[in-house]
Amino acid sequence: MAIQQLSVNLLSNPEDRKKLLGVISECSDAMTRAQAEKDLIRESISDISKKLEIPKRLVAKMVKVYYKQNYDEEVAVHDQFETLYETVVK
């Protein structure tokens, strides 16, 4: 498979280069913040899991359901899974 050649605008205008660098820097900073938030979530779940002796998996699921506000949907999906599993496997 041949590599497709792409045309690249070399951005001869210094203002355009400055704008592009600004966006790259801004996005990089946002990605750094997002990763820090993910790390905080992971650490928080791990800490409370250890303190209360609740499996991390359950705490993480509770956090996710609370965030999405979809408890009823999760219960319905679990009920459907339970019914189907018992029908097929048991």
Task: Give residue 6's pLDDT.
Answer: 61
Residue stretches of the chain with pLDDT short of 50: none
Task: Give residue 10's pLDDT.
Answer: 79
With beta carbons less than 8 A apart as the criterion, state whether 65 and 71 touch: yes
Closest CA to 63 of 38, 46, 45: 45
With beta carbons less than 8 A apart as the criterion, state whether 41 and 63 touch: yes
CA 5 to chain centroid, in Å, comes to: 33
Model pLDDT for residues 24-49, shown as the tens digit of each residue? 999 999 999 999 999 999 999 999 99
Cα R_g (the chain), whole angstroms:
24
Separation of alpha carbons 43 and 63, rounded Å: 13
Amino acid identity at 54: I
Task: Give residue 8's pLDDT.
Answer: 67
Task: Give residue 9's pLDDT.
Answer: 72
